[in-house]
Amino acid sequence: MLTLETRHTYNSLLEPILQNQSESPALIYLETGQPPIEITRNEFRQNIIDYAAALQAHNIQKSDLVIIAHTQSLDSIYCFWGVMLAGGIPSMFPTLTEKLDPHVYMSNLSELVSFSDVKAILTTDDFAPQLVEAVDCAVIASSALKIQENAQFEPVNTDTNSIALLQHSSGTTGLQKGVALSHHAILNQLASYSDSLELSQDDVIVSWLPLYHDMGLIAGFLLPLIQGIPLVLMSPFDWIAHPAMLLNAIDTYNGTLCWLPNFAYNHMARRVRKRDTENLSLATMRAFINCSEPVRHDSHQKFLERFADNGVSDSQFAVSYAMAENTFAVTQTPIGQYPKLEIVDRIQLEENRHATPVADGMTVVSCGKTIDKTQVKVVDDSDNTLQARQIGEILVKSDCMLTEYHHRLDLQPFVDGWYRTGDMGYLADGEVYVIGRKKDLIINAGKNVYPQDIEAIVNTIDGIHKGRCVVFGVPDEREGTELIAVVAEIDSPEIDEKDLKKTIRQTIATQTTVAASFVTLVDGKWLIKTSSGKIARDANRQKWLQEHL
């Protein structure tokens, strides 16, 4: 296995995949209504070699950026590894969903192609004809790849500092930042993170996470495949509608590790039916790791209450603070014990930016200590390092950082070697506590949503007074995430409000990856503006919360 001790013997992510010649399971792919598909390590290796040969026949060469715009499937997985093996740089792109407007999706892809120098897009047969019309690069449909068994493949040398893959950070719309990660950085991350997890050959990772997101790509995909432990994988769209399938998979395959954004604990606690969990055991789990949106203790409690009879206990909860720019994990709480909880004074927090422990206040869940060779510091607005318990911006330095934002020299991620996370938090007893974001950002079901993006979309709708719309997040205890609220001023009182609300919901749904939970139309007097005439987001949010919740 790749460990801190063996790390120096690895140069590329491909070595462990190519060297592991066994009949043990690499991947078990689950789909509702279909029998499971089990792929051994030998089959997996041979499949990606066949894909790499087919890609070379399509002239994919060293350092070519190749976007994989597929539905999540075995085909998309082989494409990813095939591109890497052929020497190219693979990048998973979000899937086109039923609700998203295909024109918006195409235009995002087309923008990415023109800015990032994309060599080719690999996609499904259904999607390829539309895509050919929209983008200025090669489009290769699944059937056009012509996968042949034992086709001739020319091995490509991999430099450990070359870019292994790009992760496109999740944005609501428009141009996304491509986080470029080297083999070196990813191997460092996997070695350090495996150490924090006390990973062993007995582990089984179960995941429903999308592969275009860092948590899905690194923890729920690269980690098990490179470490030679089984991965049980399903599509996020399947899981959202059928949440019990994750728990069934843990029971059937003796799952031990699973990463979940906070909302997922609530989703399963609320929406897994009683009949689906009779005689189901989750006792094999070492950890359900909460990551990628603010962690709520009450979400853990709901999950624990709902699944205690299935063997879930306190000691199975864990937290990680992670970001694509650090490959993935920055911290991890110890496996096998409930993360530390702090109760801090709200007024001290808001007015003096200090986390003062009190008997009755706000509960904050620890994200744990940094993983090996990753450092964290907390700084004030002038970049002075702060003492423990003082609130400031979290900065990260490590041996597993991004190389750059691909083709975005205007974005310089480092200041004196430190990466600015934009997250606010504090340190106490060497553990990291995250309490919010520096800028307005809504984290809805693990997705980063910039309110300005949604406001810009709503402002284009007829019937809305241009520039008079505000979007904000509403923390929802039941869902365990922030829901999206839209308040928009109408042009005239004669408008059909039902129609207009529906148009707002549909427009947001088809142009972004999220849905609005609350849509409120107001007249000309409602919205609060700043002295310079701008819409005051936080003041309007407070006003709306008082009126509605």
Q: Which is nearer to other proteins, 193 or 253 (CB)?
A: 253
In the complex, least distance from residue 142 CB atom to other proteins, rounded to whole angstroms:
22
Q: Which is nearer to other proteins, 180 or 269 (CB)?
A: 269
Q: Which is nearer to other proteins, 344 or 486 (CB)?
A: 486
- Of these, 23, 98, 351, 360, which contacts other proteins (CB under 8 A)? 98
Which H or E run includes 92?
A: strand 89-92
- Of these, 138, 162, 242, 408, which contacts other proteins (CB under 8 A)? 242
Q: Provide the 8-state DSSP code for 37.
A: E
In the complex, least distance from residue 79 CB atom to other proteins, rounded to whole angstroms:
25
In the complex, least distance from residue 237 CB atom to other proteins, rounded to whole angstroms:
7
Q: Which is nearer to other proteins, 275 or 525 (CB)?
A: 275
- Of these, 518, 528, 536, 539, which contacts other proteins (CB under 8 A)? 518
Q: Which is nearer to other proteins, 8 or 275 (CB)?
A: 275
Q: Does 279 bind other proteins (CB under 8 A)?
A: no
458, 469 contact by CB (below 8 A)? yes
- Of these, 270, 354, 408, 537, which contacts other proteins (CB under 8 A)? 270
Q: Does 103 bind other proteins (CB under 8 A)?
A: no
In the complex, least distance from residue 514 CB atom to other proteins, rounded to whole angstroms:
8
Residue keyed to tokens 């024109």: 103
In the complex, least distance from residue 261 CB atom to other proteins, rounded to whole angstroms:
13
Choices 22-30, 40-48, 455-463, 502-510; region in contact with other proteins by CB under 8 A: 502-510
Residue keyed to tokens 């020497």: 87
The Cβ of residue 377 has, within 10 Å, a number of other Cβ atoms equal to: 15
Q: Which is nearer to other proteins, 120 or 483 (CB)?
A: 483
The Cβ of residue 278 has, within 10 Å, a number of other Cβ atoms equal to: 9
Q: Does 506 bind other proteins (CB under 8 A)?
A: yes
434 forms bridges with which residues in the sheet? 425
The Cβ of residue 70 has, within 10 Å, a number of other Cβ atoms equal to: 22
Q: Which is nearer to other proteins, 70 or 267 (CB)?
A: 267
Q: Does 475 bind other proteins (CB under 8 A)?
A: no
**Ranges assigned E (strand) in 127-177:** 138-141, 163-168
Choices 233-241, 310-318, 362-370, 375-383; region in contact with other proteins by CB under 8 A: 233-241
| Angle of CA points 158, 160, 163, to nearest 5° | 80
- Of these, 40, 73, 169, 510, which contacts other proteins (CB under 8 A)? 510
Q: Which of residues 375-434 bind other proteins (CB under 8 A)?
A: none
Q: Which of 407, 444, 439 is nearest to 424 (CA)?
A: 439
Q: Which of residues 28-57 bind other proteins (CB under 8 A)?
A: 32-33
Q: Does 505 bind other proteins (CB under 8 A)?
A: yes
Q: Does 244 bind other proteins (CB under 8 A)?
A: yes
Q: Does 177 bind other proteins (CB under 8 A)?
A: no
First to last CA, the chain: 52
- 405's tokens: 């934002």
Q: How many residues contact other proteins, by CB under 8 A?
A: 30
Q: Does 245 bind other proteins (CB under 8 A)?
A: yes
Q: Does 515 bind other proteins (CB under 8 A)?
A: yes
Q: Does 534 bind other proteins (CB under 8 A)?
A: no
Buried b (16+ CB within 10 A) or exposed e, 115-146: ebebbbbbbbeebbebbeebbebbbbbbeebe
Q: Does 498 bind other proteins (CB under 8 A)?
A: yes
Buried b (16+ CB within 10 A) or exposed e, 292-331: bbbbbbebbebbbebbeebebeeebbbbbbbbbbbbbbbb
516, 478 contact by CB (below 8 A)? no
* C-alpha distance from residue 35 to each of 31, 32, 244 (Å): 7, 8, 16
219, 446 contact by CB (below 8 A)? no
The binding site for other proteins (CB under 8 A) comprises 32-33, 98-99, 237, 240-245, 267, 270-275, 498, 501-502, 505-506, 508-510, 515, 517-519
